[in-house]
Amino acid sequence: MPEEGLADEVLLDRLRALYSKGRVAAVAEELVDLRKRGNKMAELALKKSYSYRMHDLSEFMKVLLQRFSHWFNKAHDRTGRLWEQRFKSVMVESGVASRTIAAYIDLNPVRAGICEDPADYRWGAYAEAVAGGKRARGGLVRALKLGDDHEGTAQAWAQGGLAKEYRALLLGAAAEVKIDGEVKRKGMKPQRVEAELAAMENRGSDLAISKVIRHRVRYFTDGVAIGGRDFVDDVFRGCRERFGSRRVNGARKPRGALAELAGTVWSARDLRSGVG
């Protein structure tokens, strides 16, 4: 956010989505009054009191989860916590790290048994991309390629083959797993997966990534920063005060489920393997 705060119209437009017309009108009137009196400090303080959550993802999620919990508990006549864990965020570099996490997220409903095909989960980015959503396609194009260095979204997704490439990546980890006739991991029927992959001229699937995203990966919630070695070291230097005095660099080779990508993907935290 700029030091002088959001422009009045930008701020008021955002507030209209949250508050009543009367509340927004009162804020607008107060801004005009403070400006007439030349009280710049009070004007900035007023803007900050309404906008600080707009530029802080953690703060936004905190309020969102609190308010939803309050509504849900009241609607269902219950009390206590609703969410198992606190919201967590991880910095992710474009490239292998971003494509791995994108695929991992899109397979969450499959692993949970909510649907068999990630394309059927109506709230997922992949399903939205398959349905033609430009924003969803743009996000996946950026995850699969390198940042914003790509062709037009529509061309890169369809004609550029990224749709097929990403589909193959998902299929590589989406198959149901049975051991002694018992389902150990929910997912798509293996026969369907194999038939669809065989029908593709070029699978384009990164087998290492497919192995990773079959399992729960703690680094995706607790890794702090994930990406190439230089990327993680840069993050470490930028927030050096958050780490112990004996720490000399940031990049750590991942273990456990993410070990398949060790040497290509690094983490800022050295998590213990075998911990749920």
User: For all residues of the chain together, what is the average pLDDT?
Assistant: 84
In this prediction, residue 274 carries a pLDDT of 57
What local confidence, expressed as pLDDT, does residue 219 receive? 86
State the pLDDT at residue 205.
46
Residue 42 is predicted with a pLDDT of 93
24-41, pLDDT tens digit by residue?
A: 999 999 999 999 999 999
0.75 exceeded by the pTM?
A: no
Whose CA is closest to 88, among 133, 57, 120, 117?
57
pLDDT along the chain (276 residues), means of 10: 75 89 94 92 90 80 88 93 84 86 92 90 90 87 66 64 86 87 87 84 61 80 90 91 88 87 89 61
Identify the pLDDT of residue 154. Answer: 58
